[in-house]
Amino acid sequence: MKQSKLTAILGLNWGDEGKGKLVDILAGKSHFVARFGGGANAGHTIYVDGKKFVLHQIPSGALHPQCKCVIGNGCVVHLPTVIEELEELKKAGINLTGRLFISDRSILLFDFHKELDGLRENSAKEGKKIGTTKRGIGPAYADKINRCAFRAGDLLHFEDFAERLQDRLEEINKIPGMPFKFDAMREINLYGDLAERLEGMICDASTMLREALEDGKPVLVEGAQAALLDIDFGTYPFVTSSTTTAGGIFSGLGIPPQATDIIGVAKAYTTRVGEGPFPTELLDADGDKMREIGHEYGATTGRPRRCGWMDLVATKYAAKINGCNSINLTKLDCLNDFPEIKVCIAYELNGEKIDTLPANILDYAKVKPIYETLPGWKSDTSKAKKIADLPAAARDYIKFIEKFTGIKVSYVGVGVEREAMAS
Ligand code: GDP
Ligand code: IMO
Ligand code: MG
């Protein structure tokens, strides 16, 4: 067997670190880009020659014609979104015919899941809302675990699929508070149509990826969401409903555990969209400045992202859980105009200093950040091609992060474009 070449790009904070950009860069040399979890709650932004692409459901390898894209079994898939994205890409001259594959074991996410998501969020008490993307993620994963979901491969047995969907919609229509009744015939016809359009794409993606790895072909794994939104290790219950950390790669793609180059992506400051504790959040002019300079508005929902200083306690915790070999520090350019830069190096909880995330959310809501203040660089970084090209204070900031986490920073984002990456 040849040496496998598996690389994974995983978010180290609360999402939106800039994973899509690095995936797009590395996809140029990859045979496959595969998503192992999440669904259209993701919003991955790529800029090429001034043109912006935002992908939710389709992997960020799409822009490279040699790259095959896989939606793995660990994902929840809203097929109408897949079609919409395929059409958008086609309009931009990007054709995915013959290079998009959807695992036959991936879970179908229907519009009724989105309604259930919205219903739960709208009826939650103040302080208990998760601030989901309302893309139906929680209800779809709940159906998977509850063993009543529909899988993409079920579409290939359409008679049984239609019968089950009719029964499920009858159940859904009886749920108190449902704003309208789903028309079973309409949904069945829609999915009949989708089954025809997507037939060649629904396949045994696990075998396809395993064989590619056995052949020594490079496979890139695209993380969605991030470690602090992980269902087990995130800030539960203010998390998403999937495994976003490294362990999910193997179950979410159906490939055996193996040596993997894991690149963690962390912003040079921190953002969070949605509810839940955020120790370094800045509710002041610095936070607003980060939001404006970094254009911190959700790629999926357009919500303003909450902004704050880099949290090295959370980043190190995430990097250790993922077993990162290196870090991509992104959006360094967005700090160019700050005279001083703070980084959180420990938390204080009940008068004691701690260096990890407490499991309980009430404790996490109480932690206070302990900061180290570093000098800013107050100069342009956007032309840097190498990390060595960066101003000395920016390099010191990077060295501080490396020393604290024990992990090398191998890539530094200095702008939105594909080329704006120092390494
Ligand atoms: P993802 O979900 O992790 O792929 O990240 P998003 O696309 O949701 O959000 C990251 C945002 O930051 C996008 O608008 C990117 O275009 C932008 N971005 C990524 N890296 C950089 C960088 O190094 N500098 C700047 N200025 N913007 C970046
Ligand atoms: P990418 O892949 C940022 C957040 C939501 C909410 C919580 C649960 O672009 O980094 P969900 O809809 O998943 O049930 O919402 O998770 N969230 C994200 N935040 N980036 C994402 O994806 C996210 N996907 C989910 O805002 O707080
Ligand atoms: Mg995003």
Largest interatomic CA distance in the chain:
66
> Average of pLDDT values for 186-194?
98
Confidence check: pLDDT of 344 > 90: yes
Cis, bond preceding 391 (omega within 30 deg of 0): no
Question: How far is ligand 2, taken at its centre, from the CA of residue 301, in Å?
Answer: 10
The two tokens of residue 315 are: 């980043």
Cα torsion angle, 83, 86, 87, 88, sign: positive
State how far the Cα of 93 lies from the Cα of 63, in Å rounded to an integer: 10
Give me the half-sphere count of Cα atoms (radius 13 Å) on the Cβ side of residue 131. 20
Bridge partners of 409, per DSSP, are 327
Q: Is 333 in the pocket of ligand 1 (CB under 6 A)?
A: yes
- Please report the DSSP string for 146-210 in residue order: TT---BGGGGGSHHHHHHHHHHHHHHHHTSTT-SS---HHHHHHHHHHHHHHHGGGEE-HHHHHH
> Average of pLDDT values for 152-163?
97
> Average of pLDDT values for 358-365?
98
Question: How far is ligand 3, taken at its centre, from the CA of residue 303, in Å?
Answer: 12
Q: Is 384 in the pocket of ligand 2 (CB under 6 A)?
A: no
> Average of pLDDT values for 165-189?
96
- Looking at every residue in the chain, the average pLDDT score rounds to 97
Nearest CA to ligand 1 atom 11: 18
> Average of pLDDT values for 333-358?
98
Confidence check: pLDDT of 299 > 90: no
Under DSSP, the state recorded for 37 is S
Question: How far is ligand 1, taken at its centre, from the CA of residue 217, in Å?
Answer: 28
State how far the Cα of 53 lies from the Cα of 46, in Å rounded to an integer: 5
Active site residue 44: yes
Written as one letter, the residue type at 135 is R
List the catalytic residue out of 31, 44, 56, 78: 44
Q: Is 245 in the pocket of ligand 2 (CB under 6 A)?
A: no
Q: Is 277 in the pocket of ligand 2 (CB under 6 A)?
A: no
Confidence check: pLDDT of 113 > 50: yes
CA 56-57-61 angle, to 5 degrees, is: 90
Residue 136 and residue 88 in contact, taking contact as beta carbons nearer than 8 Å: no
Q: Could you report the per-residue pLDDT of 39-76, keeping only the tens digit for each? A: 999 999 999 999 999 999 999 999 999 999 999 999 99
User: 169: burial class by Cβ within 10 Å (0-12, 13-18, 19+)?
Assistant: buried
CA 64-195-97 angle, to 5 degrees, is: 20
Of the pLDDT bands very low, low, confident and very high (cuts 50, 70, 90), residue 347 is very high
Q: Is 11 in the pocket of ligand 2 (CB under 6 A)?
A: yes
Confidence check: pLDDT of 409 > 60: yes
Residue 341 and residue 373 in contact, taking contact as beta carbons nearer than 8 Å: yes
What is the model's pTM? 0.97
The two tokens of residue 56 are: 């939710």
**Start and end residues for every CATH 1.10.300.10 domain found in the chain:** 107-197
Query: What architecture is the 107-197 domain classified under in CATH?
Result: Orthogonal Bundle (1.10)
Active site residue 16: yes
Q: For the stretch 174-205, what's the b/e string if a residue is b when 16 or more beta carbons lie within 10 angstroms of its beta carbon?
A: eeeeeeeebebeebbeebeebbeebeebbbeb
pLDDT of residue 148: 96
Q: Is 60 in the pocket of ligand 2 (CB under 6 A)?
A: no
User: 262: burial class by Cβ within 10 Å (0-12, 13-18, 19+)?
Assistant: buried
- Tell which one of 19, 21, 240, 241 to mutate to probe ligand 2, the residue whose CB is within 8 A of the most ligand atoms: 240
Topology of domain 5-102+203-262, per CATH?
Adenylosuccinate Synthetase; Chain A, domain 1 (3.40.440)
Residue 407 — φ and ψ, nearest 5°?
Answer: -125, 140
Nearest CA to ligand 1 atom 20: 18
Q: Could you report the per-residue pLDDT of 240-297, keeping only the tens digit for each? A: 999 999 999 999 999 999 999 999 999 999 999 999 999 999 999 999 999 999 999 9
pLDDT of residue 2: 58
pLDDT of residue 179: 87
**Start and end residues for every CATH 3.40.440.10 domain found in the chain:** 5-102+203-262
Q: Helix 137-145 and helix 111-123: axis angle, to 10°?
A: 110
pLDDT of residue 1: 47
The ligand with the least distance to the CA atom of 133 is 2
> Average of pLDDT values for 350-358?
98
Confidence check: pLDDT of 395 > 60: yes
Of the pLDDT bands very low, low, confident and very high (cuts 50, 70, 90), residue 4 is low
pLDDT of residue 300: 85
CATH value of 266-422 in 1.10.8.80, 3.40.50.300, 3.40.1800.10, 3.90.170.10 = 3.90.170.10
Confidence check: pLDDT of 146 > 50: yes
Nearest CA to ligand 2 atom 23: 225
Bridge partners of 370, per DSSP, are 346
Nearest CA to ligand 2 atom 11: 132
